């Protein structure tokens, strides 16, 4: 499961919990006003359009302006409950391509479902719009925006921002004055309440989450409570229940019902239950002070809880966050490098890190252990501006440029001085597969070798390894070729080898910089030929999922 689907599943799961809570509250309010239950179901519907992660992000943004505390286990537990589906980054192996195809298939099915639901809704809307454009204005004292049409077979309200009350021709003559006034009062309630706007929003929810049965069930509840809420207001205005109920039944006898969610109409919902409720006046009790307090508290908790989590878990300033969670360089200077000097260097030893004429792209590659071709986004100066860094820490590194401890300190330094923000993604792109050549491997296996004896040395046109596993060789070839290399050799041991070739002018070194000039002797083998002839290995082009580091933000350090 890739990150986008992980987020969609968590959002659907959270919205389902909110809908379940709305259902319980609606059960508590079953004898109260239908307007309260309608508000509950509308909130449950709109929750599908507002993920909790958005509210958490807002809290992070607000809380990030000041130093915050480290999240407590209680909030960590809340986050785990709200996100039961954990993201999984697909490995760069044979299973990566099928996983990518599965994701593409799911995306295609979802898009097709959205398009079908939207097409059905738009078709219904267009049919009613055609009727509205051909309708004639009808003058009714005290009411504007009324039209009459022989094509429209039932009273209803069309439009969202410019609402039109549509009446079938001759309805005023077929109903008694009291019945006609009650029907008009019902439709005018839809106009004042902007019910068509709420219906349009729920149609958007149905299009996006067409696969979720609960969304369609909520839609039915919205129609039921919407019509009952209008019935309540009609009766509150002094219309007699018997007259009102007879008017609804007369409309049903005389006119057919158009099946369109684009129109709020008088005969919507379960007609039998509505008539029974109308005749049982009063059909809903006003909310008590205790129930109003309950609904207010639940609403504040639903919005405030994720916002509070965002505030609580908001990172402090980059330096403070780094200091509280990982080792940092106690002293560091960052100066502009020499743009005319093609040479650069990186060194880390005994708690000290130095970089000379290094671009931010190269520094990011070292800090996050990625190749240059795996870095995406960021400003243009990421690959052009050069910097020299001298940083010291009380922590002692392993003397390796890519030691994990040094990488964490360098990430903190880049976040503090360059305001660097990154995230990881996966995407399909061209790769090489490292496989055994036709004659088989020519590598010498180190039977007793281990990590302590492992050595990998690089020079222009030469790569020497001692006790090196194939995964490490594939990674080194990836850095040299500027393209991901996936190990498909099925060789599980550690091997000694020496590989010599003639570098290309654009060939990369382990740290990502191209060779300045090719050697004078250009008649030797390329790295592809040398691999096959000297090591019995072969690089064959393929496609696969590759992890990409996306630079979201980077700023030049002050004074540079």
Query: Are 130 and 253 found together in one domain?
Result: yes
Find how far residue 191's CA is from the centre of its chain.
36
Q: Tell me whether residue 521 is in a domain.
A: yes
pLDDT tens, position by position, 46-57 = 888 887 777 777
Query: Are 359 and 475 found together in one domain?
Result: no
Q: Which of 400, 425, 450 is the last residue of a domain?
A: 425
d(CA 43, CA 52): 14
Q: Which of 425, 455, 476 is the last residue of a domain?
A: 425
d(CA 213, CA 12): 11
Instruction: Report the interhelical angle of 195-208 vs 177-193 (nearest 10°).
Output: 60
Number of structural domains (the chain) is 4
Q: What is the pLDDT of residue 420?
A: 94
Query: Are 111 and 260 found together in one domain?
Result: yes
Measured in degrees and rounded to the nearest 5, phi and psi for residue 135 equal -75, 155
- Bond preceding residue 356 cis, omega within 30 of 0: no
Q: Tell me whether residue 557 is in a domain.
A: no
Q: What is the pLDDT of residue 80?
A: 43
Q: Which of 399, 425, 451 is the last residue of a domain?
A: 425
Q: What is the pLDDT of residue 451?
A: 59
Q: Tell me whether residue 356 is in a domain.
A: yes
Query: Are 188 and 228 found together in one domain?
Result: yes
Query: Are 391 and 435 found together in one domain?
Result: no
3-state secondary structure of 266: coil
Q: What is the pLDDT of residue 379?
A: 92
DSSP 338-361: -TT----EEEEETTEEEEEEEEHH
Query: Are 362 and 346 found together in one domain?
Result: yes
Q: Which domain holds residue 51?
A: 1-89+300-312
Q: Tell me whether residue 291 is in a domain.
A: no
* Other CB atoms within 10 Å distance of the CB of residue 304: 14
Low pLDDT (below 70) residues in the chain: 1-7, 59-100, 152-153, 255-270, 281-285, 310-326, 395-403, 448-452, 504-523, 559-560
DSSP for residue 531 = I
Query: Are 190 and 160 found together in one domain?
Result: yes
Q: What is the pLDDT of residue 414?
A: 93
Q: Tell me whether residue 248 is in a domain.
A: yes
Query: Are 432 and 331 found together in one domain?
Result: no
d(CA 163, CA 140): 16
Q: Tell me whether residue 552 is in a domain.
A: no
Query: Are 418 and 458 found together in one domain?
Result: no
Q: Tell me whether residue 95 is in a domain.
A: no
Q: Tell me whether residue 57 is in a domain.
A: yes
* Other CB atoms within 10 Å distance of the CB of residue 38: 24
Burial class (CB in 10 A: 0-12, 13-18, 19+), 286: exposed
Query: Are 142 and 252 found together in one domain?
Result: yes
Q: What is the pLDDT of residue 270?
A: 65
Query: Are 78 and 137 found together in one domain?
Result: no
| Average pLDDT taken over every residue of the chain | 78
Closest of 120, 113, 167 to residue 261, by C-alpha = 120
Tell me the whole-structure pTM to 2 decimals. Answer: 0.51
Query: Are 281 and 365 found together in one domain?
Result: no
């Amino acid at each position: 499961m890739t990150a986008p689907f992980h987020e969609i599943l968590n959002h659907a799961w959270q919205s389902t919990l909110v809908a379940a809570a709305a259902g319980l509250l609606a059960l508590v309010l079953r004898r109260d006003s239908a307007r309260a239950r309608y508000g509950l179901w509308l909130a449950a519907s709109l929750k599908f359009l507002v993920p909790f992660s958005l509210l958490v992000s807002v809290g992070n943004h607000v809380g990030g302006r000041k130093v915050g505390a480290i999240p407590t286990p209680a909030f960590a537990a809340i986050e785990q409950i709200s996100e039961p589906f954990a993201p999984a980054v697909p490995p760069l192996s044979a299973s990566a391509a099928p996983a990518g195809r599965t994701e593409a298939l799911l995306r295609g099915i979802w898009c097709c479902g959205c398009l079908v639901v939207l097409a059905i809704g738009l078709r219904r809307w267009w049919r009613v719009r055609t009727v509205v454009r051909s309708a004639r204005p009808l003058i009714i004292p005290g009411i504007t925006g009324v039209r009459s049409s022989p094509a429209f077979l039932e009273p209803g309200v069309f439009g969202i921002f410019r609402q039109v009350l549509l009446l079938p021709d001759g309805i005023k003559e077929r109903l008694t004055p009291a019945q006609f006034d009650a029907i008009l009062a019902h439709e005018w309630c839809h106009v004042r309440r902007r019910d068509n706007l709420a219906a349009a929003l729920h149609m958007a929810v149905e299009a996006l989450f067409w696969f979720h049965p609960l969304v369609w069930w909520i839609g039915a509840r919205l129609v039921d409570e919407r019509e009952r809420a209008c019935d309540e207001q009609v009766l509150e205005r002094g219309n007699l229940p018997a007259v009102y109920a007879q008017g609804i039944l007369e409309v049903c006898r005389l006119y057919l019902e158009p099946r369109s969610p684009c129109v709020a109409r008088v005969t919507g919902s379960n007609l039998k239950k509505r008539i029974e409720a109308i005749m049982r006046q009063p059909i809903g009790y006003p909310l008590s002070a205790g129930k109003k307090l309950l609904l207010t508290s639940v609403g504040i908790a639903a919005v405030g809880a994720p916002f509070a989590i965002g505030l609580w878990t908001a990172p402090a300033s980059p330096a403070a966050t780094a200091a509280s969670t990982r080792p940092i360089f106690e002293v560091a200077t960052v100066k502009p490098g020499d743009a005319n000097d093609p040479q650069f260097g990186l060194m880390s030893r005994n708690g000290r890190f130095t970089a000379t004429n290094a671009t931010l792209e190269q520094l990011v590659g070292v800090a996050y252990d990625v190749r240059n071709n795996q870095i995406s986004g960021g400003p243009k100066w990421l690959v052009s501006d050069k910097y020299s860094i001298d940083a010291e820490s009380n922590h002692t590194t392993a003397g390796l440029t890519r030691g994990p401890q040094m990488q964490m300190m360098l990430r903190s330094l880049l976040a503090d001085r360059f305001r660097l923000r990154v995230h990881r993604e996966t995407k399909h792109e061209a790769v090489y597969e490292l496989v055994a050549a036709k004659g088989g491997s020519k590598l010498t296996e180190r039977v007793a070798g281990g990590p302590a004896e492992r050595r990998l040395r690089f020079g222009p046109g030469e790569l020497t390894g001692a006790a090196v596993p194939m995964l490490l060789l594939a990674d080194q070839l990836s850095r040299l070729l500027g393209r991901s290399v996936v190990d498909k050799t099925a060789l599980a041991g550690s091997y000694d080898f020496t590989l010599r070739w003639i570098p290309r002018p654009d060939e990369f070194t382990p740290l990502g910089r191209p060779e300045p000039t090719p050697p004078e002797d250009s008649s030797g083998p390329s790295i592809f030929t040398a691999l096959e002839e000297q090591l019995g290995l072969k690089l064959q082009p393929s496609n696969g999922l590759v992890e990409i580091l996306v630079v979201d933000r980077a700023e030049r350090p002050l004074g540079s």
